[in-house]
Structure 1
């Protein structure tokens, strides 16, 4: 039995028994976002834990020598990481999320200072670069703006709109006169005059421009897997499909050789101006990783892996070494849980960032299985756990006996957010509902035959909508699909109301499509029970319905405190929701609040995993793994305020 951090819980439906038992952090991580190198040391910023950790690593010993945390700023919300880093005048500057704040870390003293905020809670500082004169240039969301910050005076300038409708300045580089910005939704590479603010377009890419660097009089940028190489004045543009996946980092050698990495493979390539291709330099030093930064050190290329690692690649030989930053001394911290799956009486599988944590319910032991992404959803088929990963769109399985991870391929079709996964026992297939990233509307239904490996993808199955959820109705031979008119969120929707579609799993065709509630734009989850299709909406806070799929009529509906996943257990329908402190409900003709105070610390959507034969459900309270009594016959459980 897992040893709890509080008293032991009873599984009996006794309303007087202890209602909540916690078991420590559900998932811990050493993942990183921002990274920089300066004067023999590397600096990284953690991703997920609160508060984020800044760690200094000695490049000679490959050990963490000093750490600090980023204090909470005065604005609402708390930092959970820092994508953007830049070194200037003896300080490391860090731009954070999900509060777009700026901090400094003094490289001599280790002192951390909160400098200012660049927007409200929910925003990001995605990118930052230091000009030769020490001025900082930052790219933010969701306002899609470029900012100037002068460290010596604290003066701030917000530049004008770079492109109408753009919400993300994803990459920034800067020289004496000009800042160069990469846009996510409009996929443009822009040059912004530092003094006048005048904007010039240097290139239009096919996908988000997520990486920009400078070398001499040229600007190098990546638009997905397209490489852009252009002079700073906009002439002599060379643009080609590199064929290497999404390019995520650049480093330029003194001789003009450009080293780059791509995901999801994680391999290293090189390029020189005038080439129409890239050349593979080495196999992935950390397979399947996204690379946060590259730094050349003589004949060594140093890389920073998003899962929380560093690698050293010897360029002449092509050999590499990898160091896990937790092993090097980076403090691991509790992160937001991505997903959860219970194998009754055996284990809990908990999805985190680049790992699945396994809690053995028989022995209390824990172990971590490395996976190359975030498991957004998991489902069991026999002795295997299937998961769909962000951002690669890869479908994997984990053998419950050996922990062996097997890839079943990638969804493709611009799908990067696999939101839901189920197993259809009749066709014995794995079904995945997914959404794109950026300025795209079309989601996809993926049908995987796990025995043959055949992967069938049906993009735009609900026209001009992505898919947030699905629910198999084995008796009818259909899977119900829940749409989202916003798609990837980067382009105006063409429809005002989210649809439900019924997809025939034998004929592989849509049988019907309906729009149950006008002007409700996003379904969060669907679940079939007792002839009705239950649905929770996302954008309209807490709206839910129970629909008769045979007639299209709504039998029940109401409002909850927020949105989350639906579960059928012991002949009843349950949900756990964001907002209002984190609540759990039973749905039906007479909905009932079952618990409040669970917290809002899920990364994806609040989830419940019920133990067979009881109303005890595994979930998280704050960021701790917890077992909570959700017995509809008992008074609601009230949990004290949680601070994740």
Structure 2
């Protein structure tokens, strides 16, 4: 079920009724121009086998996909390395649809899955194959980030955005939660459970907490230096990963130890007391024993620059991992040699996913960023190909025969050769800048410009100026104090890049400002020229675009508000409402935007917002985009999760794709 905003619907209805100002109208279309086929479709834009949750029992693994609707739970025989059974998780009664399950646990002959973006709990009976919806922990927009099964069969779920731990009793279907674990916490990112306690890792506050399962009392075992995203039992001790620190503490809170570590995303404890972990962003394997001052790298990445969803020991000296990109690997700890299998090749049902980004190379190809993959549709042959990339390409830009991708969650800038698909890393932004939201190319200075936000409880984003040949970076953290950057727009001739801010930063810490800013940054002097807050209490710009003395801006958290800021006076000249938010594009002297919500709509912006398309769907992962072909009004976009080419001639009536 999909949520529908009454406010967005009302806004759209008013917008549809609003006439285009006469001074804004381009020449009328040729006779019959609006009567032909205005929507062409080309199949799924991006196909995925990516996973989030994984669990292992008795030589069988169980993985849950991300991005597909409905999510797929697949059973893999680890001996044959093939998928032997798969089921889908049905839509639950709450508003919204599950798209994946980060959290998995096995107990009492059943696999349990906690889903997002509806925080629901499902079970899969290993004997009968029956799938059941068990409970909803909140409304659409929430996550079950973590699940742990206690020895007595009770389940514990860590959720977002309420930052709570919940108990679910499969015997009675009874549910309880343990209240606020830390003021302001949103994410219980990791859990472990034993006979007496639940151990919870908090992402915002960086705390490791112990919860008494019987009386519900909560105490802090350790304070990390950053968010805690991994927790594991280790005999009578608990391990947790906090940034570049491994926390090792007895379960009663005594004998707290820390070890320097690469940022680890998965841990497994061996019977001999050795702990193995995989690191981000490289995916390498590390070793630790209690008392070590630091972890030790023992093997190269079995899946380069990939996330690890689960680590298990599956035989003498064999470490098995499940990769977020949609793969599984086996590492011989004695030799360091590894093998990798793509889960789609192993029989995992692939499906259409939400798209991260898109780029048109005119007369050559459309590039589509997915989860750890890039789909390319060759416009000359009509063929489609797919190759792996190390993360989610949040934005793409072209420079000659090279495309540059801003990658999450590593903050890496990746170069892709459009002739060979060869990848080259320009390195990482660093400085906690793991969310690169926008990238543009400055042809005058031959530099890449990147707008980014931090992860976790930090406010300051950065403007990064990157040399595309050498990878050298100048990273201006806090260029707009106490704001992250969501967007930038370049005036290459004047050498000014305009920045759009977000006062919430990485989230998890109270903002110090109440309104998002637009700032002008001089690329020669490398300094802010001016900064303004165009609209009071509007906290996040989704996108900005400079055009003919105006900066157009779309806000994210304010019912699709848009503005046009006069650069001469730095005051708002035009403003209005859209059905939601998305990216802006300038084409043939006109400003367009595509927006989420209200069914998915596109607009032409002038003194007012004129709808040019409706019913495109709300299936982008990041921000809806339009990519126009030069010299025409045809734009590459999505209809649902299908790649489409739309005729958005401004003088034609608003386009509505036919119902599938």
Q: 1:12 touches 1:614 (CA, 8 Å); kept in 2?
A: no
Corresponding residue for residue 134 of structure 1: 153
The Cα offsets for residues 506-563 of structure 1, whole Å up to 9 and x where unpaired, read as 1111111111111110111111111211111111112111112232122211111111
| Equivalent of residue 165 in structure 1, options 184, 189, 214 | 184
Corresponding residue for residue 15 of structure 1: 34
Query: Offset at 1:271?
Result: 0.5
Asked if 1:549 is matched to 2:567, the reply is yes
CA distance in 1, matches of 2:234, 2:507: 33
Asked if 1:258 is matched to 2:275, the reply is yes
CA distance in 2, matches of 1:588, 1:26: 30
Corresponding residue for residue 327 of structure 1: 345
CA distance in 2, matches of 1:463, 1:100: 34
Asked if 1:151 is matched to 2:170, the reply is yes
The structure 1 segments of at least 4 consecutive aligned residues displaced by more than 4 Å after TM superposition are 10-13
| Equivalent of residue 132 in structure 2, options 79, 93, 113 | 113
Asked if 1:352 is matched to 2:380, the reply is no
Q: Secondary structure at the match of 1:313?
A: strand
Corresponding residue for residue 627 of structure 1: 645
CA distance in 2, matches of 1:492, 1:512: 25
Alignment of 1:604-643 (within 5 A): 604-640=622-658
Q: 1:515 to 1:57 in 2, by over 3 A?
A: same
CA distance in 2, matches of 1:13, 1:425: 40
Asked if 1:33 is matched to 2:84, the reply is no
Q: 1:13 touches 1:614 (CA, 8 Å); kept in 2?
A: no
Corresponding residue for residue 176 of structure 1: 195
Corresponding residue for residue 508 of structure 1: 526
Range that drifts further, 106-115 or 123-132: 106-115
Alignment of 1:216-255 (within 5 A): 216-242=235-261, 244=262, 246-255=263-272
CA distance in 1, matches of 2:441, 2:381: 29
Corresponding residue for residue 15 of structure 2: none
Corresponding residue for residue 416 of structure 1: 434
Corresponding residue for residue 593 of structure 2: 575
Asked if 1:594 is matched to 2:615, the reply is no
Corresponding residue for residue 7 of structure 1: none
| Equivalent of residue 296 in structure 1, options 313, 321, 338 | 313
Corresponding residue for residue 408 of structure 2: 390
Q: Secondary structure at the match of 1:395?
A: strand
Corresponding residue for residue 307 of structure 1: 325
CA distance in 2, matches of 1:47, 1:453: 32
CA distance in 2, matches of 1:80, 1:102: 13
CA distance in 2, matches of 1:517, 1:350: 34
CA distance in 2, matches of 1:12, 1:182: 64
CA distance in 2, matches of 1:323, 1:553: 56
More contact order relative to length (CA 8 Å, sep ≥ 6): 2
Corresponding residue for residue 540 of structure 1: 558
Q: 1:314 to 1:529 in 2, by over 3 A?
A: same
Query: Offset at 1:11?
Result: 12
Asked if 1:450 is matched to 2:468, the reply is yes
What are the ranges of 5 or more consecutive residues in structure 1 without an aligned counterpart?
1-9
Range that drifts further, 546-555 or 313-322: 546-555
Query: Offset at 1:13?
Result: 8.4
RMSD (Å), alpha carbons: 1.3
Query: Offset at 1:449?
Result: 1.1
Query: Offset at 1:278?
Result: 1.0
User: TM-score, with normalisation over the residues of structure 1?
Assistant: 0.97
Asked if 1:55 is matched to 2:58, the reply is no
Q: 2:574 touches 2:608 (CA, 8 Å); kept in 1?
A: no
The Cα offsets for residues 189-217 of structure 1, whole Å up to 9 and x where unpaired, read as 00011111111101111111111111211
CA distance in 2, matches of 1:55, 1:11: 53
Corresponding residue for residue 5 of structure 1: none
Q: 1:207 to 1:471 in 2, by over 3 A?
A: same
Q: Secondary structure at the match of 1:415?
A: coil
Q: 1:13 to 1:569 in 2, by over 3 A?
A: farther
Query: Offset at 1:241?
Result: 2.5
The Cα offsets for residues 227-274 of structure 1, whole Å up to 9 and x where unpaired, read as 0000001010001321x2x21111111111101111111010110001
The Cα offsets for residues 87-141 of structure 1, whole Å up to 9 and x where unpaired, read as 0010010000000001111112222111111110110000011001010011001
Range that drifts further, 567-576 or 581-590: 581-590
CA distance in 1, matches of 2:337, 2:553: 52
The Cα offsets for residues 33-61 of structure 1, whole Å up to 9 and x where unpaired, read as 10011011111000100000011111111
Q: 1:503 to 1:91 in 2, by over 3 A?
A: same
Query: Offset at 1:20?
Result: 1.1
Q: 1:11 to 1:273 in 2, by over 3 A?
A: farther
Corresponding residue for residue 337 of structure 1: 355
CA distance in 1, matches of 2:551, 2:557: 19
Q: Secondary structure at the match of 1:426?
A: coil
Q: Secondary structure at the match of 1:437?
A: coil
Q: 2:146 touches 2:157 (CA, 8 Å); kept in 1?
A: yes
Query: Offset at 1:369?
Result: 2.2
CA distance in 2, matches of 1:12, 1:59: 63
CA distance in 2, matches of 1:179, 1:452: 48
CA distance in 2, matches of 1:375, 1:32: 17
Corresponding residue for residue 209 of structure 2: 190
Query: Offset at 1:640?
Result: 4.8
CA distance in 2, matches of 1:29, 1:301: 25
CA distance in 2, matches of 1:13, 1:134: 67
Q: 2:575 touches 2:608 (CA, 8 Å); kept in 1?
A: no
Asked if 1:271 is matched to 2:288, the reply is yes
CA distance in 2, matches of 1:485, 1:286: 36
Corresponding residue for residue 417 of structure 2: 399
CA distance in 1, matches of 2:260, 2:483: 28
Q: 1:40 touches 1:59 (CA, 8 Å); kept in 2?
A: yes
Q: 1:599 touches 1:641 (CA, 8 Å); kept in 2?
A: no
The Cα offsets for residues 565-589 of structure 1, whole Å up to 9 and x where unpaired, read as 0000011000000111111000012
CA distance in 2, matches of 1:385, 1:34: 31
Q: 1:219 touches 1:229 (CA, 8 Å); kept in 2?
A: yes
CA distance in 2, matches of 1:369, 1:439: 34
Q: Secondary structure at the match of 1:638?
A: coil
The Cα offsets for residues 146-167 of structure 1, whole Å up to 9 and x where unpaired, read as 0000111111111111001101
Query: Offset at 1:630?
Result: 1.0
